[in-house]
Amino acid sequence: MSRVEIVEVGPRDGFQPVGPFIPTEVKLNYVARLAAAGLHRIEIGSFVSEKAVPQLADTPELLFLSRDIPGLRPQVLVPSLGRGIKAFEAGAPELAFVISASPSHSQANVRRTPLEASAEYLQLLDRMPKDVRIRLNIATAFDCPFDGRVSAGTVRTLLDPLVAARSDVEIALCDTTGRADPAQVTSLFGDLMARFPQNVVWAFHGHDTFGLGLANAYATWTQGVRVFDAAFAGLGGCPFAPGATGNIATEDLVNMFHSMGVDTEVDTVALQGIAEDGCRIPGALIGGRVRDAIAAHRQLDLTRGGEPNG
C-alpha cells in the first residue's frame, strides 16, 4: 500500500492566530495526543518575535517539555538566521525556514526581501550542526494576498541558488492564501520537479480558504508529492495574510487518503477526538468537514452493513 507523510502543523499554524493564550500544558497535551494518534512529525511552534506572535512565545519551553513524547519529531518554524541559530541552540532537531516568494508578503511577514531571506537561509546552512534537519517553506508560492497570483518563474528564480547550495532538502510549496487551484499546483510542482531532479523532497502546505485544500492536495499527490502539511480541526490562518483562514484539516486529508487506499499511519478515531476538542479552544478558527460529518453519522447511529464490497 502506498503511503504519505502528514506533517501536523496545528500547534504552530493553527494556534498562531488564536487570541487567548493557550497554556503551555494544554499545547503539550495536544502535541502528545497527536503524536500518539500517529502524527509523529509535528510543527510545535516557531522561533519568532514574541511581540508579533505572542501565542507562540512559549515554543522553547514546549520544545523542552515535549522531548520525552514517544516517537515525536518536533519541527519549529524559523524566519531568519538569528532565529534559526536560537532554535537549534535550544535543541530543535528540525527547522522549517520560511521564505516568501512574493516581495510584498516577504516584507509584511519577515521585513526582508526574498533575496535577503535567501541569503540568511544559505548562512544558516553553513552554521547548522550536521544532525539538525531542515526544510524550506516557500510561502506565497502560488498567490500573494497583496500582489495576486505568483508566477512559476518567480519561484524558479528563488529556488535556483537555494537548491544549488543544498539539494537534499525538503521544500514545501505553501498556498498561503488558499487561492491556488488544482491546475496551478499540478503545473508548478511539475515544472519544479522537472527543473530540480535532485534529491529534493517535495511537500505541499495548503489552506482551505476557498474550499480547494483537498482538491489541491489530490492534484499535488498525482504529481508524486508524498509529504503534506495539515492542521487538526482545520485550525489556522496567517495573521499577515488577511482572509487566509484555515489550513487543510488533518482529519479531512487523512480521510481522503484512507478512502483512496493510501496509508497515513494515523488513528482516525483518536484524531476525531482531538479535532473535536480542538474546536473548543477559546478563539480557535476552525475548518474542515469530516469532523462534523463523522459526528453527524454517530448521532444518527448509522450502521453501515458490513465491509465495503469493492
Long-range CB contacts for residues 118-122, cutoff 8 Å, separation at least 24: 118/158, 118/161, 118/162, 120/80, 120/81, 120/84, 121/81, 121/97, 121/162, 122/161, 122/162, 122/165
Nearer to a second copy, 127 or 258 (CB): 258
Nearer to a second copy, 57 or 295 (CB): 295
Position 285 contacts a second copy (CB under 8 A):
no
**Which of 21-29, 125-133, 217-225, 272-280 is the region at the interface with a second copy (rule: CB under 8 A)?**
217-225
Pattern 88-127, a second copy, x by CB under 8 A: ----------------x-----------------------
Nearest approach, Cβ of residue 14 and a second copy (Å):
17
Residues in Cβ contact with 148 at an 8 Å cutoff, skipping those fewer than 6 apart: none
**Which of 9-17, 26-34, 53-61, 144-152 is the region at the interface with a second copy (rule: CB under 8 A)?**
144-152
Position 6 contacts a second copy (CB under 8 A):
no
Question: In the 8-state DSSP scheme, what is residue 207?
Answer: B
**Which of 35-43, 45-53, 70-78, 253-261 is the region at the interface with a second copy (rule: CB under 8 A)?**
253-261
Give the residue among 92, 43, 32 at the shortest CA–CA distance from 228: 43
Catalytic entry in 144, 174, 238, 279: 238
Helix (H) or strand (E) run with residue 65 in it: helix 59-65
Burial bucket for residue 131 (CB in 10 Å: 0-12, 13-18, 19+): exposed
SS3 per-residue string spanning 83-95: HHHHHHHCCCCEE
- Give contact residues for a second copy (rule: CB under 8 A): 104, 145-154, 178-184, 208-215, 217-219, 242-243, 245-246, 249, 252, 255-256, 259-261, 287-290, 293, 296-297, 300, 302, 304-310
